[in-house]
Structure 1
Amino acid sequence: MKIHLQTPEEIRPQIWKELGRASLDRHHEWRTPVLASADADGLPDARTVVLRQVDAVAGRLTFYTDSRSPKVAQLQAQASAMLVFWSARLSWQLRLRVACSVITSGPEVDALWQGVKQSAAAGDYLSPLPPGAVLPSGSGTADAAEVKVPAPTHSFAVLRAQVLQMDWLELSRDGHRRAQLSASTWEWLTP
């Protein structure tokens, strides 16, 4: 169903509503946005991430990651990043300028890990090899018997993205519309 919004006062809550839905519905198009950061050479590095939690009041999104992932080092060196979402159903593109923080230990990480460790995804955070490591065989999977690195207890980490600015674009046969929204201001932009 196509939603036609008239004002940023309507756009902002609808964006947060869709983000909230995406965090709960694995089939929602916004469930897997692209997170773009800068690598050590200042070059763009982008990857798909899975949206896990949304706090509209705080303006914050939560993702899970392996603490050994290159994106963790990138975001610890430069917290600024961009999230890009696309919904064909709504004909909306959403770009979020965010400030990221990575939490690798503590009660919150422990509590979230308790839920994850019971799922099939637990293996992603228990691998003896970090993401992007070359595998010792051509099998495509990290066989623990072949890997000579001790497995960590877990490498689960929480990635928080504080939304600083939203850039919303609606594509329509009747004319495209674009708005830029921050915590307290908004303006219409040329699409």
Structure 2
Amino acid sequence: MNDRLDSLAAIEEAVWHELGQCIADKAHPWRTPVLATIDGQRADARTVVLREVDARQKHLLIYTDERAGKVHQLLNHPHGTLVMWSPALSWQLRCRVRLSLEMSGLAASSRWARIRLSPAAQDYLSPLPPGTPLQPVPPSHPPVARDYFAVIEATMESLDWLELHRDGHRRAIFDGQGARWVQP
């Protein structure tokens, strides 16, 4: 985008368009946002991969191993923040989201059916949970009898858009109260 967008409606539409683009374009910088959750009394953050975007429902989907620390965190506190930066647009997004988890229902099983024969399936078939210390020579493990694939649905509660620009920075909030300009 070379021209600056002037209306809040155009900015919100462009944000959701870019989010949709990042699913098909593996090089899009918004494809791998940082997801921050709460681990007890402190924040915890990690890079995740956006797998699906539903602009109409304002949902973003992320795949995970159901044994990952973020799963325990979101089950105890189902809120998080996704942070994305696009150097090409000079846009930052901070998406405050409500997180929910699907481990065995249709949302998870239908997506698992699509990836279970791909190399990505190995991420969800390890006998060891994420973060488990490895021995110097990994012992042999019995075959995994099941997958640990799960889907995290992030429902947008608010979207904080920031544009850094030589002619002046701009910031807008999009949430249940509507869209509004705020001080950058």
Which range, TM-score by smaller chain?
A: over 0.9
The residue number in structure 2 matching 1:52 is 51
Identity of aligned residues (%): 46
| Count of residues in Structure 1 that have an aligned counterpart in Structure 2 | 184
1:31–1:51 CA contact under 8 A, matched in 2: yes
In structure 2, the gaps of 5 or more residues are: none
The residue number in structure 2 matching 1:15 is 15
Deviation string 1:41-78 (CA, Å, 9 cap, x unpaired) is 22010000000000101010001000000000000100
How far, CA to CA, are the matches of 2:69 and 2:140 in structure 1? 20
Match of 2:165 among 169, 172, 179: 172
Alignment of 1:120-135 (within 5 A): 120-135=119-134
Alignment of 1:1-191 (within 5 A): 1-39=1-39, 41-137=40-136, 143=138, 146-147=139-140, 151-191=144-184
How far, CA to CA, are the matches of 2:135 and 2:143 in structure 1? 15
Q: CA deviation at 1:119?
A: 1.2
1:128–1:147 CA contact under 8 A, matched in 2: no
Deviation string 1:11-49 (CA, Å, 9 cap, x unpaired) is 11111000000011111110000000010x220100000
Post-superposition, which runs of at least 4 consecutive aligned residues in structure 1 deviate over 4 A? Answer: 147-150
How far, CA to CA, are the matches of 1:134 and 1:95 in structure 2? 32
AA matched with 1:176: H
Aligned-CA RMSD value: 1.4
How far, CA to CA, are the matches of 1:109 and 1:118 in structure 2? 15
Q: CA deviation at 1:107?
A: 2.2
How far, CA to CA, are the matches of 1:75 and 1:152 in structure 2? 26
TM-score (norm 2): 0.95
Q: CA deviation at 1:108?
A: 2.3
In structure 1, the gaps of 5 or more residues are: none
1:136–1:147 CA contact under 8 A, matched in 2: no
How far, CA to CA, are the matches of 2:29 and 2:145 in structure 1? 33
Q: CA deviation at 1:186?
A: 1.5
Q: CA deviation at 1:187?
A: 1.4
How far, CA to CA, are the matches of 1:152 and 1:76 in structure 2? 25
How far, CA to CA, are the matches of 1:91 and 1:153 in structure 2? 43
